[in-house]
Structure 1
Amino acid sequence: MASQNMTWLSYPSKNFASTSPEEIEAFIASQNIISRLMHCYIAFFVPTGLTAGICILIVFIKNYLQHKSMEQLDLLLLHFTISNIIMIFLSLTVIPRPDYLKATRLACSVLSFFFNFSYFNSQYVLLFILLILLLKRFLPMTALCKATQNPVSCVAFVLIYAFCLSLTEAVLVGTDNYHVETECQSDPLFARPEYEIIKFTFGFGIPAFLQILSFIVLFAKKAPAEAEDLWQHIRTYTAVFIISITIFICHLFYNVMILFRTTLKLQKSIGTPTNELMMNIAEIVLFSESCATLVFILCFHKPCKERILQVIHNCRRRNTTHNHLEIPVAYNP
């Protein structure tokens, strides 16, 4: 590994000293792209994601108060929703782009800890959701099946596991010059190369492998005769499968950029403005995925969809009733 001293690192946009007109134009163009993407994300994705997240919370809470219980899948999706709402609030750190948030290294490390906690949290909750869907289809009477009967235990395990991974990442960010002000990103530039390697391995490599394995089992394994049809099973849990595919695609792009940044660190290079642009795009894509998955839950998860349709139906019926009650009064001179 490279030296643990990362003080030489800086963003290409902070060290742009080229006199070439072509390079200056490319630099200005990349800054404009970052700025426009940030404005698009803040103006469209953030309000949409937060609105969808709040609606999901209201639906799940009302259903719980009505039935005094909550299904396994709903509890895990509630946990997933809360993680993504926290991720959206943390994503507001992109507001200064194309510049970066100014903070001390210690504050940046704390921000990174909470970002990684939400990141790992949502990733591994999704794996438990996919596992439960597999068990619902194949119905094996195994110890694994019995272990997942208590969703609270699953949530507790994910929280502890995500906390340990996030704490490890916080240590790898480093504590050198903790009081010095720096340009801060969710994944700090000054973190040691091991930071990105562990994040790729445990935040994408292992979860992606398990996701792909679950899909292979779903499509390749023969289900019991009493199990519902495969495509009916997919239609029943459309939200989960759409979310899984969306997360895989967005996290793939993001983690490829993370690994590429690691190679630059190992080569003792700060990269080019284009490299910086791609990393910023990857970060905004990751945050946009958190917003999109909440919209998918609201639109495709059955309890949420039914509640939304019920609200729309009640509003239409109320408007119709109101219009019918507006009877004109005859004029008597």
Structure 2
Amino acid sequence: MSAHNMTWISYPSKSLAFISPEEIEAFIASQNVISRLMHCYIAFFVPIGLIAGVCILVVFIKGYVQNKAMEHLDSLLLHFTVSNITMILLSFTVITRPDYVRVTQLTCSVLSFLFNLSYFSSQHVLVLMLLILLLKRFPPRTALSEVTQRPMLCVGCVLLCAFCLSLTEAVLVGTDNYHSETDCQLDPLFAWPEYEIVKFTFGFGIPSFVQMLFFTTLLAKEAPAGAPPLRQHIRTHLAVFIVSTTTFICRLFYNIMILFRTTLKLQKSIGTPKNELVTNIAEIVLFSESCASLVLILCCHKPCRDRILEVIRNCRRAHSTNTHLEIPVTPMSPETMSQ
């Protein structure tokens, strides 16, 4: 249980006594980098991501109200959108960087639970979307096809799985000193080493392996007769393929830093200011990916793209109508002209 005693751990930026005079300049530079990245993320990525997320929700909800139904893929994209909006809202905890939010360990554990719920949900529903697209191209003759045709059941399974994993992670944060204050990240520094291992395994490792398996099958397996060409299949569902690629790249960097932090914990080391800088960069990249994914869905998913183009055309038509309005001219009498 010695690995579970995390009272010794702290951030390198909070342990200035261990920094040599030669490292002070590098420490100040890393703090400036973290601060500038945070301001860039809050000022640019957050507004764009939230606006894109709200637009997606409006398009899907309005389409459901009009048609009294929603396509299976749209239902999963709606769940993915809600998960990413939640992650963006929770990312406001980085607004104090290069410092950290100062809360009790209990509050930090609750924030971590909500973050992990959104993190696991978005990752697993993305895998489910890729599975549905794979089954569209290679229709199976099993009960699996019937299950994937029930979107509410699929979303329920994803939420149940994400809830169980998030609850497990909440336990691995630790059960001591709940009322003491701490510097909080959404992935708490004081969590047990098993926390990062479980998160990497079930939040990135296994889902990424399954995604690569789906992509390999899609590219290598010959489609049945009558199936559309592969290029057309990818173009039709471009949003899912682009988002899954973007998510993999950004979360790969983030999960590498998670494993590196686990290594430091097992070595009883707090690391260096440079390690802290890279970890903070990876966290901001993860949050930026949530914003970018929503923008990609809005621009690449056909129902959303068509709705946005329709709004733009209506605005242009209204502007053109206003600029071509004739201004009435009052006729002037000869007496008035003579004056």
User: Does the Cα contact within 8 Å between 2:34 and 2:98 map onto a contact in 1?
Assistant: yes
Give, in whole Å, the separation in 2 of the partners of 1:2 and 1:136. Answer: 51
Partners of 2:240 and 2:169 in 1: CA distance: 28
Give 1:262-281 correspondences, 5 Å limit: 262-281=262-281
Matched residue, 2:244: 244
- Aligned-partner residue type, residue 219 of structure 1: L
Q: Structure 1: how far apart are the matches of 2:221 and 2:17?
A: 59
Q: Is the partner of 1:183 in helix, strand or coil?
A: strand
**Which letter maps to 2:54?**
I
Distance 1:249 1:146 in 2: 32
- Give distance in 1, aligned partners of 2:153 and 2:122: 16
Report if the CA contact (8 A) 1:2-1:266 is conserved: no
| C-alpha contact (below 8 Å) 1:106/1:175 kept by paired residues | no
Give the counterpart letter for 1:38 in structure 2. Answer: M
Map residues 1-333 of structure 1 onto 2, 5 A cutoff.
Answer: 3-17=3-17, 20-332=20-332, 333=336
Q: State the aligned residue count.
A: 333
Cα separation, 2, equivalents of 1:286 and 1:114:
16
**Matched residues in 1 for 2:21 and 2:192: separation?**
34
Calculate percent identity across the aligned residue pairs. Answer: 73
- Name the TM-score, length of structure 1 as normaliser: 0.98
**Cα distance in structure 2, aligned partners of 1:125 and 1:19:** 44
Q: Kindly indicate whether the alpha-carbon contact (under 8 Å) linking 2:3 and 2:193 is maintained by their aligned counterparts in 1.
A: no
Shift of 1:136: 1.1
**1:31 counterpart letter in structure 2:** Q
Q: Residue type of the partner of 1:78? A: L
Per the normalisation by structure 2, the TM-score is 0.96
CA-CA distance at 1:322 after TM superposition: 1.7
Asked if 1 retains the 8 angstrom alpha-carbon contact of 2:103 and 2:184, the reply is: yes
Q: CA 1:2–1:264 in 2, change beyond 3 Å: closer, same or farther?
A: farther
Letter in 2 for 1:40: C
Listed as ranges, the gaps of 5+ residues in structure 1 are: none
- 1:130 maps to amino acid: L
SS of residue in 2 equivalent to 1:95: helix
Letter in 2 for 1:313: R
Whether the 8 Å CA contact 1:48–1:291 is kept in 2: the answer is yes
Instruction: Give the superposition deviation at 1:21.
Output: 3.9
Q: 1:137 Cα deviation (Å)?
A: 1.2
Q: Which runs of 5+ in 2 are unaligned?
A: none
Matched residue SS, 2:183: strand
Largest Rg, 1 or 2: 2
AA aligned to 1:58 is: V
Q: For 1:102, what is the secondary structure of its paired residue?
A: strand
Q: Match of 1:182, SS?
A: strand
Q: Measure the CA separation in 2 of the matches of 1:249 and 1:64.
A: 33
